[in-house]
Amino acid sequence: MLLAIDIGNSNIVIGGIQDDKIVFEARIATDRIKTSDQYGVEIKNILSLFEVPVDSVEDVIISSVVPPVFNAVRTGAYKVTGLTPMVVGPGIKTGLNIQMDNPASVGSDLIVAAVAALQEYTAPLMLIDMGTATTITVVDQGNNYIGGAIIPGVRVSAEALSSRAAQLPGIQLDRPKRAIGKNTIECMRSGIMYGAAAMLDGMVERMEAELGKPVTVVATGGIAQFIVPLCKREMTIEKDLLLKGLNVIYKKNKK
């Protein structure tokens, strides 16, 4: 079994992959002050929770966008499994041609998601990852990673609004009843939810016009399930895109 770990700003996704199938998937909170021993315990507990023997783990792959946490998780995984993890980063084979000013600065999560999407969808592609930040990645017809956009995440925007405006409360990301709110909560929910959906529709339209070709739009991330159904543009939600991408990259680089 391949133990695949993706370290994000809010959550760490840990999955087990056997014969290209995701056997289990778990999420733990990203904690910048946890030690490698603590992360090791978390990984071991998750394996135990899903009744996966440690000795059934044959290899480990990690991607990370949180440098302060990366070493602790990598060392914790090594302490549990005795295996040195493969790391998604410069020098790793992905099959993507990254056409950015500084390719090394591109987040590994964006690359992993693009690699996974190319296995199931035909380019040109637009990938929307809705987490702490909302990122949009564009892959053209030649499998070239040509750029994208980074936008404050939906929860980040909602929290900023509540913390900066004394009379505005925190709200749940429930589907708005209507676009024209009738009270403070409804107005906030409409602005945040429909506003995010309209932003995605508008960004996709603008990027597609720049590309000059129709694109397939794929969305992932914890917030996508709340926002994508409110969009006018057709988008496909892929829940396990990062784990699938880690599996593809592992197979491309396995010695």
Q: Which two tokens stand for residue 83?
A: 């295996």
6 is catalytic: no
Q: How many CB atoms lie within 10 A of CB 201?
A: 16
Distance between CA atoms of residues 234 and 179, nearest Å: 20
Q: How far apart are CA 217 and CA 219, in angstroms?
A: 7
Q: Among positive and negative, which fits the CA dihedral 39, 44, 48, 52?
A: positive
21: CB partners within 8 A, 6+ apart: none
Q: Transcribe 100-148 into DSSP letters.
A: SSSGGGS-HHHHHHHHHHHHHSPSSEEEEEESSEEEEEEE-TTSEEEEE
Q: What is the DSSP letter of 57?
A: -
Q: How far is CA 22 from CA 93, 129, 132, 194, in A?
A: 22, 20, 24, 33
Indicate which residue of 6, 109, 129, 140 is catalytic: 109
Kindly give, in sequence order, each residue whose CB lies less than 8 Å from that of residue 24, ignoring residues fewer than 6 positions away: 15, 16, 46, 50, 52
The helices-and-strands tally (H runs, E runs) of the chain is 8, 11
Which residues are part of the catalytic machinery? 109
